[in-house]
């Protein structure tokens, strides 16, 4: 009975925004690193300094975002949708580029390039599982459901 | 014992005569069209030069209008202000992407022609001869034939005049379209609702409701396709660029750009984008990654795009059988050229929407008439 209740519960925009925001904060650094990697910013700047300042900015943005979320909590809690497909697409993109960013980070740290594929496969497997669970439970988006 | 032949009913006969008359009329029209070919070309040319910028403005408006509406919903108005913000942001984005991307692309192309092109020529003339699968004798004969007939020389000689001749017919309308597009877009988006209302008022009142519903469904389908496709092109292009760089492929930026641009063509785009990096990896090996690794990367990227991203972003509105998509690419490609190839999928999806809509109307009418029969005393 409890399980059915949990499955059918529709979460408010607040819960969805909290997930999307913290996912963005977790993946912000890897995503910025992806852009720096493509445009070869490491040739212009000291990448260690860049990562340090990026981490500090990430922390500040996370604090500010948390504050904004807390201030708008009541208003967001009143907003409910049947499903959150657009938000799920956003999460999917963030996670995909984040994963690539982890590979870039791995490369910047000077680890052996031979094992990038192994690291990526394990990370992708874990992430796909988490995304499927999040999609089913919070975003009401069941990818595995048969049409 | 002979079976008696059923006589043809008057109804069937009438139907046959009607179809025959239609076929004859179509043939007559076709014959007349062939007789006045020049006049038709002149008329279709004039229509095409007006329709292409208007259609492009309509398609771009489908992408931009939701943004303008979103800004208005957030209280940023009147319309000209929200439109100005969207236009400035779009122009800034286009300028920034050109500003940052063009130097990299130009340097990679220069690098290719100064470093790798001579290597490829050497490969084709020396290494390929030694390792030719049919033997060096056959290779020499092919090369002698090419040299004697001067096929490549003739082709190159014809290339420049053909290119120069095509500038007049292709480049001038293209430049006109590019110049007209922002102006058309501004006026269309400023009076979006008014123009749509005027267009609707042309339709007879009897069909107005159905036409409005069909129009909204078509807008939704084509808009969803365009927005989704743009997002996918950007994402897949970026992912391919990063992965190519991670595996150590040279000219990763140009190859990634090709993946992003060709992603707009279903099925064929994947093959077109995969060929250059694979061929390059094959020729430059063992210096860079092997061709098998490049092929594997392409397969994995396309698999993830086709099975995860596309169904989630595009939804099931544009889900069509691959055979139908391939046929529509071939058909619309031969009809409208490059634009036909690019827009084959949304055109096919629109045709399906129209077909389903009329099927629905027919079913609705049938159920209404059945209800009328059962309720009548």
Q: Whole-model pTM?
A: 0.77
pLDDT in tens, B41-97: 888 888 878 888 888 888 888 888 888 888 888 888 788 888 899 889 988 988 988
Q: A38: which chain B residues are within 8 Å (Cβ-Cβ)?
A: 238, 241-242, 245, 253
A3 pLDDT band, cuts 50/70/90, is low
The minimal CB distance from A107 to the residues B246, B311, B316 is found for B246
**Tokens at A83, concatenated:** 């499903």
Residues of B in contact with A116 (CB under 8 A): 246
Using the 8-state DSSP alphabet, how is residue B4 labeled? P
**Predicted local confidence at residue A7, as pLDDT:** 57
Contact at CB, B238 and A92, closer than 8 angstroms? no
Q: How confident is the model at residue A66 (pLDDT cuts 50, 70, 90)?
A: very high
Local confidence band at A24 (pLDDT 50, 70, 90 cut-offs): very high
Tokens 């925004």 identify what position? A17
Cβ-Cβ contacts under 8 Å for B173 (sequence gap 6 or more): B49, B52
Q: Say how far residue B129 (Cα) sits from the centre of its chain.
A: 40
Q: Residue B67, exposed/middle/buried by CB under 10 A (0-12, 13-18, 19+)? A: middle
CA B63 from centre of chain? 16
Bigger pLDDT: B341 vs B1: B341
Q: Are A50 and A108 in contact (CB under 8 A)?
A: no
pLDDT in tens, B250-301: 889 899 999 999 988 888 888 899 999 998 888 887 777 888 989 999 998 8
**Is pLDDT at A8 greater than 80 in this prediction?**
no
Q: Is residue A41's pLDDT more than 60?
A: yes
Give chain A positions within 8 Å (CB) of B242.
34, 37-38, 100, 103-104
Span B346-359, mean pLDDT? 87
Contact of B236 with chain A, judged by CB distance below 8 Å, is answered with no
Residue B126 has pLDDT above 80, yes or no: no
pLDDT more than 90, % of chain B: 10
pLDDT class for A58, splitting at 50, 70, 90? Answer: very high
> What is the predicted pLDDT for the residue at B315?
66
Q: Residues B305, B297: contact at Cβ < 8 Å?
A: no
Chain B residue nearest residue A124, CA to CA? B304
Exposed / middle / buried, residue B35 (Cβ in 10 Å: 0-12, 13-18, 19+): exposed
Candidates A92, A93, A116; nearest CB to B246? A116
pLDDT value at residue B5: 67
Contact by Cβ (8 Å): A119, A109: no
**What's CA B291's distance to the chain center, in Å?**
29
Q: Do B104 and A39 touch (CB under 8 A)?
A: yes
B320 touches A: beta carbon within 8 Å: no
Helix (H) or strand (E) holding B373: helix B344-375
- pLDDT recorded at residue B304: 85
Indicate yes or no: CB of B312 within 8 angstroms of CB of A38: no
User: Which pLDDT does position A4 carry in this prediction?
Assistant: 54
pLDDT reported for residue B313: 77
Tell me how far apart the alpha carbons of residues B314 and B188 are, in angstroms, rounded to a whole number. Answer: 26
Q: Identify all chain A residues contacting B297, using CB atoms and an 8 Å cutoff.
A: none
How close B228 comes to chain A (CA, Å)? 11
Of the pLDDT bands very low, low, confident and very high (cuts 50, 70, 90), residue B119 is confident
CB contact under 8 A, B308 and A93: no
Judged against a pLDDT cut of 60, whether residue B307 lies above it is answered with yes
Tokens 């007049």 found at? B168
Closest chain A residue by Cα to residue B231:
A93
Query: Nearest Cβ partner of B239 from A37, A89, A96?
Result: A96
Cβ pairs bridging A and B (under 8 Å): 41
* Angstroms from A42 CA to nearest CA on chain B: 14
| Bridge partners, A80 (sequence order) | A12
Q: What is the pLDDT of residue B214?
A: 87
Nearest to A103 by CA among A130, A77, A124, A126: A124
Find the DSSP H helices in A9-143.
Answer: 13-38, 47-71, 73-77, 85-108, 116-137
| For residues A123-141, average pLDDT | 86
Paired tokens of A147: 């049409």
Q: Is the pLDDT of residue A67 over 90?
A: yes
Q: Are A8 and A48 in contact (CB under 8 A)?
A: no
Helices B344-375 and B322-336, packing angle to 10 deg: 120
* Number of neighbours of residue A145 by Cβ within 10 angstroms: 7
pLDDT band at B28 (very low <50, low <70, confident <90, very high): very high
Distance between A34 CA and the closest CA of chain B, angstroms: 7
Measured in degrees and rounded to the nearest 5, phi and psi for residue A80 equal -135, 135
DSSP letter string, B118-181: HHHHHIIIIIHHHT-TT-HHHHHHHHHHHHHHTHHHHHHHHHHHHHHHHIIIIIHHHHHHHHHH
User: Region B340-344: what's the mean pLDDT?
Assistant: 84
Q: Which residues of A touch B310 (CB under 8 A)?
A: none
Per the CB < 8 Å rule, is B246 touching A85? Answer: no
Task: Please enumerate residues of A whose Cβ is less than 8 A from a Cβ of B.
Answer: 34, 37-39, 85, 88-89, 92-93, 96-97, 100, 103-104, 107, 113, 116, 141, 143, 147
- What is the distance between the alpha carbons of residues B156 and B159, in angstroms, rounded to a whole number? 5
The phi-psi region of residue B90 (left if phi > 0; otherwise alpha if psi is between -120 and 50; otherwise beta) is alpha
């Amino acid at each position: 009975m409890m399980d059915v209740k949990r499955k059918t519960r529709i979460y408010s925009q607040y819960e969805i925004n909290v997930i999307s925001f913290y996912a963005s904060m977790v993946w912000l650094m890897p995503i910025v690193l992806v852009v720096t990697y493509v445009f070869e910013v490491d040739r212009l700047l000291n990448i260690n300094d860049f990562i340090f300042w990026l981490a500090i900015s990430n922390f500040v943005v996370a604090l500010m975002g948390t504050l904004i979320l807390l201030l708008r909590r009541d208003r967001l809690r009143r907003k409910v949708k049947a499903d959150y497909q657009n938000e799920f697409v956003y999460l999917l993109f963030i996670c995909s580029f984040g994963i690539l960013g982890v590979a870039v980070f791995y490369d910047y740290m000077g680890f052996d390039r031979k094992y990038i594929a192994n690291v990526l496969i394990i990370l992708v497997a874990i992430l796909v599982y988490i995304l499927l669970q999040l999609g089913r439970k919070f975003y009401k988006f069941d990818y595995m459901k048969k049409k | 014992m002979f079976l008696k032949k059923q006589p043809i009913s008057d109804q069937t006969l009438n139907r046959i005569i009607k179809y025959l008359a239609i076929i004859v009329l179509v043939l007559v029209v076709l014959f007349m069209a062939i007789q006045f070919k020049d006049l038709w070309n002149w008329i279709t040319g004039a229509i095409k030069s007006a329709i292409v910028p208007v259609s492009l403005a309509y398609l771009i408006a489908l992408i931009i209008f939701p943004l303008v509406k979103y800004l208005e919903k957030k209280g940023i108005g009147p319309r000209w202000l929200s439109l100005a913000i969207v236009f400035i942001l779009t122009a800034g984005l286009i300028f920034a992407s050109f500003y940052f991307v063009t130097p990299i692309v130009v340097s990679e192309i220069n690098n290719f022609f100064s470093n790798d092109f001579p290597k490829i020529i050497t490969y084709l003339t020396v290494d390929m001869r030694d390792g030719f699968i049919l033997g060096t004798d056959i290779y020499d004969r092919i090369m002698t034939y090419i040299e004697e007939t001067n096929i490549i020389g003739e082709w190159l000689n014809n290339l420049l005049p053909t290119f120069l001749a095509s500038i007049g017919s292709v480049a001038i309308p293209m430049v006109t379209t590019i110049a007209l597009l922002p102006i058309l877009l501004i006026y269309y988006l400023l009076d979006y609702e008014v123009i749509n209302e005027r267009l609707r008022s042309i339709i007879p009142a009897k069909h107005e409701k159905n036409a409005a519903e069909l129009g909204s469904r078509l807008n939704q389908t084509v808009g969803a396709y365009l927005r989704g496709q743009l997002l996918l092109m950007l994402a897949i292009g970026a992912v391919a660029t990063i992965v190519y760089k991670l595996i150590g492929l040279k000219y990763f930026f140009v190859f990634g750009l090709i993946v992003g641009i060709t992603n707009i063509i279903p099925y064929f785009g994947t093959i077109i984008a995969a060929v250059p990096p694979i061929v390059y990896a094959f020729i430059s090996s063992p210096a860079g990654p092997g061709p098998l690794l490049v092929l594997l990367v392409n397969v994995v990227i396309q698999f993830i795009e086709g099975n995860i991203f596309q169904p989630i972003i595009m939804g099931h509105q544009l889900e069509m059988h691959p055979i139908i998509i391939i046929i529509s690419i071939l058909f619309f490609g031969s009809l409208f050229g490059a634009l036909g190839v690019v827009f084959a999928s949304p055109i096919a999806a629109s045709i399906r929407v129209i077909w389903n809509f009329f099927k629905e109307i027919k079913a609705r009418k049938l159920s209404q008439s059945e209800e009328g029969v059962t309720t009548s005393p």
